[in-house]
Amino acid sequence: METKLSRRDFVKSTAILGAAAAMMPSALAQADDAAKTTIAFVGCAHIHTPDFMNKMKERKDVKVKYCYDHDPERAKKWADFQKCEALSDSADKVWNDPEVQAVVICSETNRHEPLVKAAAKAKKHAFIEKPMGISAKDSYAMAKALEDAGVLYTTGYFMRTDPKHIFLKEQVANGAFGKITRASAWNCHSGSLGHWFDTDWRWMADVSQSGCGGFGDLGTHMLDILMWIFGDVERATADIQISVGNYGPTDEMGQGLLHFKNGLTATLTAGWVDIECPVTLMISGTEGHAIIDRGDLYFRSSKVQGADGREPWTKLPKSPALPIHQFINAVQGKKDEPLLTPMEAAKRVAVMEAMYKGSKKETWVDVAY
């Protein structure tokens, strides 16, 4: 039997359907947010902050809920960019919010320790922009807090994603170089010459906030590559200098000398006063040699077929995702992301500290482990 609606019932049912339809976009938006990984930026001072902000905004599976910074203007600027809540009085709202799964810490380096320890206490996974800390002491303390908390961690050592570096690490491990006799690494740009740190990033040229100048800022990247390939450094020294003096007493360049526990001695060059840095890595051994020159890898080995060093070597592994993406992927449950350990990051600070001390004392300094 066909049932006919009265006019009153028809109008009523239409109103209910209309109301339900009006609610659908909001309900869908809430469901979409619930499916995303919720993070917060804690400190927005680092020069890489804009890049990380853009990368998180581009990911459709990430929701930035808060932007905290002790500077209210900076907090508001990035909160407006992410369309999220700005915090400047305290980051406690981040730590107490169960929806926030992870944090990206881009504060001034001297503000890392309390923020990192708070993140660990709140069980928030943490991406912490390099360097981990001002000194070996505070870096090891942060590493222990993160490890004890059992949270995921990594940092912005993006040079580990370069296929050439991955390849060379594999070849060293495979014995393609024979006995390694020497290694050198370079990472330089013209930041001081170009006054890159005169505005938003001025703190990075203030050692009281950054912990280091041009040598440490850029040197930490290739130091990580050297330690990633060759292991722990036993002792170190350096000659670290001011060049043009654009940032007062802050160093702008340096040459480091590293003695590894495996017996290898390597050099490290870094700074803000170079208009060119064509060669970035060289490894030499009794049966092999490699150099990266203007982005091309030249590789020679008596143990690898076709490796005669005459033409750029192009048989390279696939590049993994950048560290910030590796971190988010791992938070989402993806296995086998090549994250750094907190202790790895702390050791890099300890070696850099030994080089700065060695420069002042003009002697070798044992690395604190």
| pLDDT (tens digit per residue) in 123-172 | 999 999 999 999 999 999 999 999 999 999 999 999 999 999 999 999 99
C-alpha span between 281 and 293 (Å, rounded):
8
How far is it, in rounded angstroms, from Cα 93 to Cα 71? 16
| Whether the predicted pLDDT of 207 surpasses 50 | yes
Angle at 201 between CA 200 and CA 206, to 5 degrees: 130
For 283, the enclosing helix (H) or strand (E) is strand 279-285
Q: 3-class SS at 78?
A: helix
Distance between alpha carbon 346 and the CA centroid of its chain, in Å?
13
What would the pLDDT profile of 70-129 be if each residue is shown by its tens digit? 999 999 999 999 999 999 999 999 999 999 999 999 999 999 999 999 999 999 999 999
Which letter does DSSP use for residue 203 in this model? G
| Torsion angles phi and psi, residue 277, rounded to 5 | -145, 70
Could you give the domains of the chain?
34-154 (3.40.50.720), 159-319+341-366 (3.30.360.10)
Overall average pLDDT of the 244-248 stretch = 97
DSSP, collapsed to helix, strand or coil, labels residue 227 as helix
pLDDT score at 3: 47
The reported pLDDT for the residue numbered 35 is 86
Residues in the chain: 369
pLDDT in tens, 9-19: 544 554 444 54
Mean pLDDT of 325-338: 97
Average pLDDT, the chain: 93
pTM: 0.91
